[in-house]
Structure 1
Amino acid sequence: MPSILIADRDSNERIGIGWLVNSYAIPYDKVHSAGTMEDVFEMMEAHTPEVLCIELDMIGRGQWDRLKLLVDQYRPTVVVTTSEATFERAMQGIGLFARDLWLKPQTPEYIRRILTRCCQERLDRKRVNEEKGTGADKHRDVSYLDLFFPGHVQAKSYSLMLAQLEDPKRHPELLRFFEEYPFRDKPDLLPLGETIVGVFPMDAAVSPSTLHQMGKRLLMDWEANNDAPLFLVMYDASNHEQSLNENYAEASQALQVRFFKGYRQVTVMDNPVNWTMIDPFLTPAEQRTWVEMLDEGNREELKQWLYTHFFYKEEPYPEPGLLRIRLTSILAQVRRYMKSRGLDSAPLEEEYHRVFETILYSPILYRIVVELLLFINQLLDAAHHPIDESRVDVVEQAIRYIEGRYTDPALRLEEVARYIDRSPSYFSTLLAQKQGSSFRQILTSLRVKEARRLLLETSLSVQEVAERCGFINANYFSKIFKEKTGTTPRLLRNQKKR
């Protein structure tokens, strides 16, 4: 069985991690601990632990070289911990070929999962070496160092998977999904801030068509039980004689394709993205056109101009950064219109700054264009058709709209906001203030309520009930139903029968 060395200046941290190892029966043969770097050096040379869990903050300036030498000599699986979320600490972890970096304080469940994975990987590696007739551990997993340092690993046959959720906070769920997924050839998983990178083994025969099928299957299986939008890049490097760092840099470019395609998509590539270069600034003629369209309040013409110039359906796409500049150039003309009509005061001024932020940072082009159009419509309303908003209960209008369309699985907050002619962010704030609930909570509550009625009053199957209530599939419906009611659809129906 592997052994582990827990190195931390805080004795409570050492004791706590040791307790987790023993309490969860993680199969480490020996658990060693060290409170100083001298203890670390002594333990590594005396016991050669297979797994090293070390606090970066305890390593002195003059102790790095010796530690790196021991790591290179004994090749343990390294996990690093730190209380400083800095680039310097991340680079120090990379320099030690760290398998994972923990930012203190870390949850016991996460620590247990990582240490269990490290232990299992060592056992698997030992078994493979024994099957090959050698006890020497000559294999090193792909590491962050391989991704970020040029020329570190030649990767002629590596293929890559890059996965990105719309909400990066849910990446731990996606990582668990990949860890448990029955890949034919298990990739090395390297979580980053906003992306999870999967590196498939060098000897895995993965063709572009296979990658595409794998990507579609992954996307379908993820969405069967999760509602977080996912974007996948599958990169075929079989014809590339270059480092893994170079392959990763090319594959990362393809993540920007989601700017045009949106989430819930798979992009397969085997070459760098070929962006089209455009002039990002409006010409004098285009500036005059915008001034005229705004002055005339021609909403349809404004919409068609934006759709014509910003909705791209096929490659090659313009470089996304240039499009963002072009959109800010348009917003500058909108700003001139605001000032000329005396509309540059709150709350329209706040909306202007929010739209500016959306142009700079929103990951999807379609959403940016829609937000810009909604804001322009607000300005035109304020300039030509002043409305006493105190007489209009837009939240009530929105609730009625949701109640009439909650069975549509494609219903989104943006659609309801368009119906009441408000921006999505403003509408979301109104809901929270007046209803105490988010759009998603209100929508889910209506769907679950109707589902409960159908389960108790009809003989429709669970799948049919899910479809009638706006859920994409039965598995996700059952998961949400149990979260909201405390029981599953089938158990509720069985209780009714009894």
Structure 2
Amino acid sequence: MKIFIIDRDYTEAKGFKWYLESYLLNEIEVYILNSIDQLYQQYQQVHPDILIVEIELIKHPNDIAFFKLARKDGTEIYAITSEPLFQHALKAIQMQVTHFFVKPVDLNHLKYLINSSTKENKTVVNSIGDYDLTNVFYLQLFLNNENGSFLKDNRLFFLIEPEYPKDLSALYSWLKETPIFESIEIYPLSKRIICISEFVEKSLFEKKARTLIREWNIMSGSYINIAIYDREPAQLNEIYLETKKALKQRFYKGFEHIFYVSKQLIPLPLDPLLTPEEQQLWIQGLENLDIQTIKEFLYRLSIDGTYYEQDSIRIHLTSVLAQIRRFMLKYNLHQKAVLEENYRQLFNIILEHPILYTIIQEIILFTQTLMKLAADAKLEFKANYAELAADLIEQQYKNTKLSLIEIANQLGITSNYLSSIFSKHHGVAFKRYLQQIRIQHAQKTLLETNFPISEIAQLNGFEDPNYFAKLFKAYTGQSPNRYRKMLREKRE
């Protein structure tokens, strides 16, 4: 067996040579080269069985074409790199390498691959690549066939789903070349890949599956999930749908997982709309720039071991987004084109992104940006202070000391300026607006409780019960006691 090592680091190449000569089962001859040009010259004189090449040396399309031809001639190709970049991984796929190593190279694994590689394995996998999509397999997959079960020969059916759909083609090409599974049938779909293995020992299969997940991450920088059908034999269509359903667990758990059809999650119901208390939490959290309260609210949706229905969570988070939108409008942040675009992107992420944790992180990051801009807006007098003042009144009307000056101080503006913009925006003076809010809440308290008038006055921001009664009658035309009695008589 003849092996070429093409590496710029001569010392490292000598280490490879010593190890391979010491531990490979076959007698070998190892040639050390330091450039692709040297490879071209040596290749004309000696036809190698194995090429081990540093992928950083591959710089031109002609180099890739050369390795593809060598592959067709029966030469095994192993690529190595010191940087696990995606562009290197794509080169490795185009070169049709048997395996792609990241330095430091696992020499035991390299030895295993070389010792166990056979022409038979390559032939089986490559023949799958030429699979005719009109074959009966795809008809059985999507049509409910009544002709018996599919897994009658103890074959193992599993699905592989990449983190990014755009990686599907690269993943398919990589799967055809990887030696992790000695015998495997591969059938590509639009978003995932079907694999059927003759291997049925699940403990060892899981070890191989985890190796597959790890190697793909090293090679591509992205992740995959694997879902395994482990129930009784059934029709192919049923097997596929059940296994596909198992992959939906990625919403809660992310990637780098092996899911079993027999271990499905049981989601809990969740009210898709925010309660009044939750709405108030968001209003106050945003106004107070309290990102910790916001985080705690969102993280409860992804507590490990608690799984809410996916659609309900998405609707729930669009309700959250409505509160965020209100906050944006209040501070005129929607006028910033970039921020408005980010808001629309966040809306699509909530509706479509496959991972809950990512959705939550995107909401938190966007909210943090809004809070910073809102704080800046206050300092620059660009906020809608009339609306802010009205919100503060709603939150603090019970405070008997609440006044125009107090609200102005909280907003960081002068009382004269607030008085002017408030009356223009609401069509009523600040003092009268505060009185109206207090009377409205007092009406509700009168109806819902049996508290004495003096206590109701105190609960709604009035120090003097007599003044409260006088003002209440001015607004409603009735005294507090008469108002309570009349409404209760109507209800009865």
TM-score grouping bracket, smaller chain normalisation:
0.3 to 0.5
Q: TM-score, normalised by structure 1?
A: 0.46
Q: Which has the larger radius of gyration?
A: 2
Q: TM-score, normalised by structure 2?
A: 0.47
